[in-house]
Amino acid sequence: MEFPKKDQLTKLLSGKKFNACIEVVDDSGFEECFDYYITPLEMVMNTFGDYEPKFKVSIVKKITEDQPEGLWELLDTMIRRRFGVDKDIEYNIKKYTKHIGFPNIARSKFEFIDDPNQVIQEQRTPRKFVRDIIRDIVFKIKDDIRKKKTFKFRSIDPGFGSKFDLELILNKGVDDDGSFMKPYNIEGFWDDDTNTMEIFLNVDPESDNSLFYDLIGDLNDFISHELTHKKQYERGDKIPKRNIKRPETYYSQPHELEAQIAGFKRKSKLSKIPLEIVIRNYFDKRRDKYNLTDRIIDRLTKRIMEYGS
């Protein structure tokens, strides 16, 4: 299940500093205070089968004479003894989640950070980044769109996680199954071993530049899709390495559903085309390539829409 209104919550919480105080020793009357930031993570299922929002709490660790390393180790122990959520922290999180209809929250993920800018940067949504990188891609390829060429973009900072490389491979070889979709075919891959996003673009030599209108929408879709895979790897999701040949099974995997809805939603918002139509158009275009029937397309569309609801 996708996190409802995650973008709005991320924007509301971006750069917002909270403060909490905790008794280092129970019933001692002595409290230690610290600053922290809250970041929406994902929806998780509880033991009753209901979904609850999960957040990351980033505590700013400032080692001083009054708060030495040993004290921070004790604070860490105290926080974990309280099953991950201090009452003040839980209260601040619920002030935001109540607006999206979730009275309860899942156990938060805690981390200690040295630099607050680290989490503030991570909280920024990658929309501007995606827009900027697509602008750079279109500018570079516009005169070479029908040539065989590879464009490399090095050490890209998406505003979250680690930097990565992007390679755009133009018209080199045929598609994996030997088929070709006109006026162009685009495929994306995330290589976590090399921290590289690969975009393969094969263009019909007879096509004209009107293809750029649709291509920009597809680049938004595919780059957002692959960025989601990057996030999945960085947060430690278990992603199967097996080669799945049955399209319906492949597209129904949890990590693929999350990436698909991210890409489709971005394309839908930019193009102002209803989400369901964007999804159906994607699979309809690949009907012959993957032997997709109407029933398969219906099932996949429904599954992705339900995941994103």
Q: Which run of H or E residues covers position 164?
A: strand 164-170
1-33 tens-digit pLDDT: 667 777 777 777 777 888 877 766 555 556 678
Answer whether residue 67 shows pLDDT above 80: no
Amino acid 259: pLDDT: 92
Q: Which domain holds residue 20?
A: 6-123
Tokens of 11: 């924007």
Answer whether residue 124 shows pLDDT above 60: no
Q: Are residues 179 and 43 in the same domain?
A: no
pLDDT classification of 271: cutoffs 50, 70, 90: confident
Answer whether residue 80 shows pLDDT above 70: no
Which pTM does this prediction carry? Answer: 0.61
Which amino acid, one-letter code, is at 106? A
Q: How far apart are CA 6 and CA 179, in angstroms?
A: 38
Tokens of 262: 């991210």
**∠87-90-92 over CA atoms, to 5°?**
110
Amino acid 53: pLDDT: 83
The closest of 39, 47, 49, 157 to 108, measured between CA atoms, is: 39
Q: Are residues 240 and 135 in the same domain?
A: yes
Q: How far apart are CA 199 and CA 167, in angstroms?
A: 6
Answer whether residue 192 shows pLDDT above 60: yes
Mean predicted confidence (pLDDT) in 43-65: 82
Q: Are residues 13 and 67 in the same domain?
A: yes
pLDDT classification of 309: cutoffs 50, 70, 90: low
Is 163 among the domain residues?
Answer: yes
Mean predicted confidence (pLDDT) in 46-59: 82
Amino acid 118: pLDDT: 58
Q: Which run of H or E residues covers position 169?
A: strand 164-170
Give the least confident one: 49-58, 102-111, 237-246, 276-285.
102-111
Are 157 and 187 contacting, i.e. CB atoms less than 8 angstroms apart? no
Answer whether residue 254 shows pLDDT above 60: yes
Q: Are residues 118 and 134 in the same domain?
A: no
Answer whether residue 98 shows pLDDT above 60: yes
Q: Are residues 114 and 192 in the same domain?
A: no
Q: Are residues 53 and 194 in the same domain?
A: no
Q: Are residues 20 and 111 in the same domain?
A: yes
List residues bridging with 18 in a β-sheet: 36
pLDDT classification of 208: cutoffs 50, 70, 90: confident
Most confident of 88-92, 133-137, 207-211, 238-242: 133-137
Q: Are residues 96 and 133 in the same domain?
A: no
Q: Write the CA distances from 145 to 66, 171, 191, 263, integer angstroms.
A: 62, 8, 24, 23
Helix extents (H) in 165-253: 211-234, 247-251
Answer whether residue 125 shows pLDDT above 50: no
Q: Are residues 98 and 154 in the same domain?
A: no
pLDDT classification of 127: cutoffs 50, 70, 90: low
Q: Are residues 199 and 289 in the same domain?
A: yes
Q: Are residues 177 and 233 in the same domain?
A: yes
Which amino acid, one-letter code, is at 23? E
Last residue of a domain, one of 77, 93, 123: 123
Using CA atoms of 217, 222, 227, 228 in order, give the dihedral in degrees to the nearest 10.
100
Amino acid 176: pLDDT: 46
Is 1 among the domain residues?
Answer: no
